[in-house]
Amino acid sequence: MVNIMFVCFGNICRSPMAEFVMKDLVAKAGESDQFKIESSGCYPREGNPMSQGTREQLRLHNIAFTDKRAAQLKRSDYNKYNYIIGMDRSNVKDIKYIMGGDVDNKIHLLLKFAGENRDVDDPWYTDDFETTYADVLKGCRALLAKITTQS
């Protein structure tokens, strides 16, 4: 079983988008039973719903989603997940702080899997959910390719 946690600042835009995009990719590959995929935030307002822009992008691309509510990343999550994926470098820094480090090299920047050392911009500030979706899709496809080639 491969356990993946996607993380952004508030868990209402980028990380839930990545959660549902990855679940869709895994389902299309016929591997849903081999993965546990979730998302959380470094500093969420717990219980807040997913942003409308994220919902719209998922609908536009025919990606199923549930009524996701913002959840807090916890230090105990470190032992539960194989991959803890930050959407930007600030998230990665915050994840490492929350986790007390990264001795098992589980914490990664999403777009690094696609060979790019850059952030997935936060559409809460840019209002560009389309570009965020494209970056999330690129990163998730690359992450899934890495995982499947390692299996």
Q: Which residues are catalytic?
A: 8, 14, 122
Contacts of 65 (CB under 8 A, 6+ apart): 16, 20, 50, 55, 58
Please give the Cα distance from 133 to 139 (Å, whole number). Answer: 10
Is the Cβ–Cβ distance between 37 and 19 less than 8 Å? yes
Provide the angle, in degrees to the nearest 10, between the axes of the packed helices 14-28 and 129-150. Answer: 50
Q: Between vectors from CA 117 to CA 150 and to CA 122, what angle results, nearest 5°?
A: 105
Pairing status of strand 35-41 against strand 107-109:
unpaired
Please give the Cα distance from 66 to 16 (Å, whole number). Answer: 10
